Amino acid sequence: MGSKPEELEATVLLESYDLVAITETWWDEFHVWTVAIDGYRLFRRDKQGRRSGGIDLYIKKQIAFEELSLKNSHEQVESLWVRVRDNKRNLVVGVYYRLPDQGEPIDEAFLLQLQEASHSQALILLGDFNRSDICWKSTTASCRQSRRLLECIEDNFLSQVVALPEGMSYWA
């Protein structure tokens, strides 16, 4: 986040987003500032003992939600999961950051979380997957673990709806 809290707050308030997900905040025990945005609740997963990482999720205060505690939670998986409720349906929102050099056990733990969360009525997954070998247009990959991610996305009937710079995606 560095020097961008004011820019973030201005953009969020101007656009009046319902949810705002941020990856690579780089907050840690030495950077303990909290970017409170009027009218929003903030959920954080700060990086643990490393230089990069950290995720945040802002949710408008008038939106009913609960943070999910998945039985497949894993301390090293950098993810946040919440259930948003309205009169008509439940929506699960996940935010995920994958370290570029993350190992297979943590990748597998995330896939278990994704499978568990996908049992909801609707799911939106946001984040930075750091899989440079994936071609998102053709949904192909050269690395076995990247192919596992693509299979899990397909098995859970997710489809990419917004294409952003390489490594960043939004799934619903």
Please write the tens of the pLDDT for every residue from 141-158: 999 999 999 999 888 888
pLDDT digits (tens, 9 = 90+) for 6-59: 787 888 888 888 888 888 776 655 555 567 788 999 887 766 665 667 888 999
Q: Looking at residue 16, what is its pLDDT?
A: 87
- Rounded to 5 degrees, φ, ψ at 106 are -70, -40
pLDDT digits (tens, 9 = 90+) for 79-131: 999 998 877 778 899 999 988 888 899 999 999 999 888 886 789 998 888 88
CATH code of the domain containing 167: 3.60.10.10
Q: Looking at residue 49, what is its pLDDT?
A: 60
H or E stretch including 105? helix 104-117
Q: Looking at residue 167, what is its pLDDT?
A: 45
Token representation of residue 111: 């896939």
Q: How many domains does the chain have?
A: 1
Q: Looking at residue 59, what is its pLDDT?
A: 92
Q: Are strands 168-171 and 160-163 parallel, antiparallel or unpaired?
A: antiparallel
Cβ atoms of 127 and 136 closer than 8 Å: no
Q: Is the pLDDT of residue 170 over 60?
A: no
Parent domain of 66: 5-171
Token representation of residue 103: 């190992």
The C-alpha angle 124, 127, 129, rounded to 5 degrees, equals 120
Cβ atoms of 46 and 60 closer than 8 Å: no
